[in-house]
Structure 1
Amino acid sequence: MSLDHLKPEIETIVANSDTNVDERLLKICELLEANVSHYDWVGFYFRNGDKEELKLGPYVGEPTDHTIIPFGKGICGQVAVSNENFVVPDVSAQDNYIACSITVKAEIVVPIFVNGENIGQIDIDSKTPDPFTEADERFLEFVCKKVSGIL
C-alpha cells in the first residue's frame, strides 16, 4: 500500500472523537506498522512535563526499556533539541544512538509541533538497512501535523 493511500485512514483515526488521544495514537501506530513493510517499530514520544526529557507514549513493536530519553541523547533526544527530522540510514554509523534492539538497522524521527512548539515526535525503527525515502519523511510530517490537531 502506498503511503498516500494511508492518509485518509490517518484522518479517520484522528477525527474519531469517540476514542481518547492515546487510543487514536495507538491506532495510528498499528496502521503504520501493519501497512508499511519497513516500519517495524512505531511509537510516539512526548515531552515529559517541564523536564528536559521525552516520555514514551503509545507504540507497537518489541518492548523497549527506553521509556524516558533525555534531551540530546539518541536520535529522539537530538530531535527534541534540533526541532528537525532525523533520518538515520544506518544506526551503527551514529555515535549518539540508543540501541533498542540489535535487529534495528535504520530509524526515522519526525517532530510534532503544537503552536510552534516541539512537544513530541513519531519514531520509527526498521530492520531494513536504509529504507526511508523522502516520501516517508513527507508522509510522517503529514501524520504529525494531523496528530498535533488532537494534542
Structure 2
Amino acid sequence: MFSQSTYSEDLSASYTMLSKQLDALLEGETNATANLSNASALLNQFFDQINWVGFYLMEDGELVLGPFQGLPACVRIPIGKGVCGTAANTKETVIVPDVHAFPGHIACDAASQSEIVVPIEKNGELLGVLDIDSPIKNRFSEQDKKGLEQFVQILVKHI
C-alpha cells in the first residue's frame, strides 16, 4: 500500500509521463481539432473513474463544445455560468468536489458528481477550457490540478 507521499510522487510521475506522451503524439501535427481530439482520447485512457473528458472552445464570447469523449454534452456555455464558465471567467482551474453543491452547475450528464476545469490560454488569450467529470464525489485533487495544468501547457504548443 502506498503512503500519501509515495502516492503523490507516483501520481506526479504519471502526469509527467502523460505530458511527454501528449507532446510526442501531437509532434508535427498542426490541426487543432485533430490535436484536441487525440488529447481528449489520451486523457480518457489515462483516467479511471471519469465519465466525460473534453474541451469547450471560445467562440464569439462563449464556450462552444469541442472534441470530447463521453455522452453527448451541452453545446454552448456562457462565460461565468457553471463550472466551465467560471473557470473561463477567472482563468483559474476550478475543482468541484460535489457538483450538486456548486451554485449554477450545468448538468449535462446526470451521473456527474465531481468536476475539474482547466483554462487554456495562449499568449494571454483564453482559447477555451479542459473539462473532466467523474461519477464519484471528491475525484479530483490538487495533484490532478497540477498535472492537468502541466498537460495543458504542453497542449498549447500544438494548437
Q: TM-score, normalised by structure 2?
A: 0.86
Could you tell me which residue of structure 1 aligns to residue 78 of structure 2?
A: 70
Could you tell me which residue of structure 1 aligns to residue 53 of structure 2?
A: 42
Whole-angstrom distance in 2 between the partners of 1:114 and 1:140: 16
Whole-angstrom distance in 1 between the partners of 2:19 and 2:156: 15
Whole-angstrom distance in 2 between the partners of 1:147 and 1:73: 25
Identity of aligned residues (%): 37
State whether residues 87 and 132 of structure 1, in contact with CA within 8 Å, keep that contact through their aligned partners in structure 2. Answer: yes
Amino acid in the other structure paired with 1:120: G
Could you tell me which residue of structure 2 aligns to residue 109 of structure 1?
A: 117
Could you tell me which residue of structure 1 aligns to residue 19 of structure 2?
A: 7
Whole-angstrom distance in 2 between the partners of 1:95 and 1:108: 15
Could you tell me which residue of structure 2 aligns to residue 55 of structure 1?
A: 64
Name the Cα RMSD after superposition: 1.5
Whole-angstrom distance in 2 between the partners of 1:139 and 1:14: 18
Query: 1:82-93 residue pairs with structure 2 within 5 A?
Result: 82-93=90-101
Q: TM-score, normalised by structure 1?
A: 0.90
Structure 1, unpaired ranges of 5+: none
Structure 2, unpaired ranges of 5+: 1-10
Instruction: Report the count of equivalent residues.
Output: 147
Per-residue displacement from partner, 1:71-104 (whole Å, max 9, x unpaired)?
Answer: 1111111111111110000001011100011110
